[in-house]
Amino acid sequence: MPVPDYALLLDPPAFPAERYAALADRLAALMGTENDVLLIQAEAVLALEAAATSLARPGLRALNIVTSPYGAWFGGWLERGGATVRNLTASPAKPVTLKEVEQALDEGPDFDLLAIVHAESASGILNPLPAIAALARQRGIVTLVDAVASIGGHAFEADRLGIDIAVIGPQKALAGPAGVSAISVSEKAWELLSHGGAPDNSMLSLLDQKKLWLDAGRGALPGTPAPLEFYALEAALDRIEAEGLASANERHERAAAATRNGIRALGIPTWVEEPHASALVSTAILPDTVEAKTFLAAASQKHGADITAGVGPGAERLIRLNHTGRRAHPEAVKANIVAFSSALKSLGHAADTDSALEATEKAYFDADPNRV
């Protein structure tokens, strides 16, 4: 592949001030919300830290659901700000169950905030968000959802679910840039955010964003925004809107179904059952006889594959096959299956690549028999 001329990225014109509001509106439409949407000039982890830091105060009681390192960090940021945090940690690398959440809510105290990750690319799981959001809503608890990985890969409609704060980034299923992110904020969430100890004159302050951008008429963003990131976000939104969000979700679901079929055809168990599996990455359990490090080294040699170890407690022995964003496509799915199978074979484990490929194709065919 020829090396692109990166000098073309130099000296870009400023992003036009009048186009930021349109970007926020388009992101709001993707999130299914009429709430305020803030543009955060940083990667999504900073948006999460900003939300936690802005909410945190002594006296705030939070139920923080932990299903990956992201959730663990979130609880830590809340505690740093003096909040009382009950971390509800799911079984290692598994989704939280509705029963666990219900029990924690019943045990109390009366929580002000419930925080959860929608889908995890760290372990390939999907949390039962709609049912959990309904529980929180019944009890009048403000909800915060990390939908960074799920947006564009799973149905996520913030207003229909009653999500007060949603954090998203374009760099996963939306296949956009990693240097910007967005946060939607409901009226109820603004009330919780408006407290005496809230940070100000800070990149982590949501109230600053409200004052300096929302209330100022949504023109130029404060500071010197990185124009390349915003042009890239605009292009990513053009592409995803042209495809349609429902179709992007479907593309991810099909890639997951095809990947899982292929893995199982190799005689390898998948980590979680269908309803609990994310559509972003699929996770498989390596046989005990196969050493993970050697396997990953072998799998990564195959062109077009993206196979890595799981991240976080309980996920270390899991193997992730990535089918997020542009990779949610038959060619990338098949490249992963071929790499997985070849790596098994190279380590002396029996594997039939042809029948695994047939199984992936069958999943695509079953989803759409008219596809050529």
Ligand X SMILES: *Cc1c(COP(=O)(O)O)cnc(C)c1O
Task: Quote the CA–CA distance of 139 and 117 in Å, as a whole number.
Answer: 19
Binds ligand X by CB under 6 A, chosen from 117, 185, 335, 339: 117
253 binds ligand X (CB under 6 A): no
Binding mask 327-356 for ligand X (x = CB under 6 A): ------------------------------
Closest approach of Cβ 122 to ligand X, in Å? 6
- Nearest CB to ligand X, comparing residues 68 and 341: 68
252 binds ligand X (CB under 6 A): no
Q: Are 181 and 167 in contact (CB under 8 A)?
A: yes
- Nearest CB to ligand X, comparing residues 46 and 357: 46
148 binds ligand X (CB under 6 A): yes
50 binds ligand X (CB under 6 A): no
Q: Which two tokens stand for residue 362?
A: 């069958």
172 binds ligand X (CB under 6 A): yes
Q: Are 167 and 48 in contact (CB under 8 A)?
A: yes
Binds ligand X by CB under 6 A, chosen from 21, 29, 45, 214: 45
Residues 181-200 that bind ligand X (CB under 6 A): none
Beta strands in the chain (DSSP E): 36-40, 61-66, 84-89, 113-117, 119-120, 125-126, 142-146, 165-168, 181-185, 281-285, 307-309, 318-322
Quick one: DSSP state of residue 6? G
DSSP secondary structure, 328-359, as one string: -SHHHHHHHHHHHHHHHHHTT----HHHHHHH
Side-chain half-sphere exposure of 193, counting CA atoms within 13 A: 26
Residue nearest ligand X, Cβ-based: 149
Quick one: DSSP state of residue 326? G
Residues 273-292 that bind ligand X (CB under 6 A): none
Closest approach of Cβ 197 to ligand X, in Å? 25
The residue ranges that bind ligand X (CB under 6 A) are 43-45, 70, 117, 120-121, 146, 148-149, 169, 171-172
